[in-house]
Amino acid sequence: MRRDKRERLWAFTIWLAVGLFILNLIGMIATVVVNSFGSRWFTTWLPVGWTTRWYTLAWDEFQLPAILLVTVEVVGAVVVLAGLIGVPAAYAMARRNFPGKQVIMLLFLLPLLVPPFTYGIPLATVLYQLHLAGTIWGVILANLVPTVPFVVLIMIPFVEQIDPRIEAAARVFGAGLGRLFVQVLVPLLTPGILAALLLVLVRTIAMFELTFLTAGPDSQTLVVALYYAVFAAGVRPGQSIDAMAMVYMVTTLAWLLIALRFVNPTQIVTRAKR
């Protein structure tokens, strides 16, 4: 009986800790939401009044249209290129055993395990020497470094679960590699490709370090622009920075929700687990 009580107390403690964590998390996010809509908020629990003018201010002051355009271009290019390079590579890795496969696997794991800031500095140095850093192409190339291997690792199990006899049949009927991909594999792999590319999309919107290290003034994505806005806080009203943070947050979370229809939340973290 006493043991039962202690066990329940232990369970209660754990749920309390989780509850407090989530409460603080919600509090942190709600602060951004409330502040972005508040007219003045100093010594009270909630702002004195409500307004949407910070959004119009942020829209003009931070040049949000231009930043959003760059973000869309970068994210779009990264998603398409990561898919084009990653999916065929995953197919080869899943279907063939060749000498050196282990080494190549390790090669693909490294960019996922090493934190971006560590390899970002030498990568940015190389891109600056090639005069690519500071342009949108430098940002795209840098963002492809972790995302291409990510697509490969996600896609390998999806390829493995396709029956090889389907491919063999297509070959027998005279399909070349190109037709095999377009007419057989891509339709069968659609759920996997969708999951992988949506995760790439969410990760690229939120990828701060690599974009920060390689972006110039005209090639900042939303998250980097947000960093500079927070960094230079005091120049502009805090509420308009929070309005910008809201634009970033809504964009990211909307795509996260879409992605979560196709993947399990744990997959976002355990991608590098072997």
Q: Which of 199, 190, 138, 143 is nearest to 162 (CA)?
A: 190
For residue 2, the one-letter residue type is: R
CB of residue 75 to another protein, shortest distance in Å: 14
Tell the smallest beta-carbon distance from residue 2 to another protein (Å).
Answer: 13
b/e burial code for range 203-227 (CB count within 10 A of at least 16 → b):
bbbbbebbbbbbbeeebbbbbbbbe
Alpha helices in the chain (DSSP H): 2-37, 53-61, 64-95, 101-113, 116-129, 136-160, 164-172, 177-179, 186-206, 209-214, 222-231, 238-260, 265-269
Q: Does position 172 bind another protein by CB under 8 A? A: no
Residue 68 binds another protein, judged by CB under 8 A: no
Residue nearer to another protein on the CB measure, 63 or 267: 267
Cβ neighbours around 122 below 10 Å, total: 10
Q: Which is nearer to another protein, 173 or 264 (CB)?
A: 264
Sites for another protein among residues 124-163 (CB under 8 A): 124-126, 128, 141-142, 144-145, 148-149, 152
Q: How many residues bind another protein (CB under 8 A)?
A: 91
Show Cβ contacts of residue 42 under 8 Å, excluding neighbours closer than 6 positions.
none
Name residues contacting another protein, limited to 87-126 (CB under 8 A): 88-89, 91-93, 95-99, 104, 107-108, 110-111, 113-119, 121-126
Taking CB under 8 A as the binding criterion, the range among 54-62, 64-72, 189-197, 208-216 that sits at the site for another protein is: 208-216
Judged by CB under 8 A, the chain residues 220 through 249 that form the site for another protein are 223, 226-227, 230-231, 233, 238, 241-242, 245, 248-249
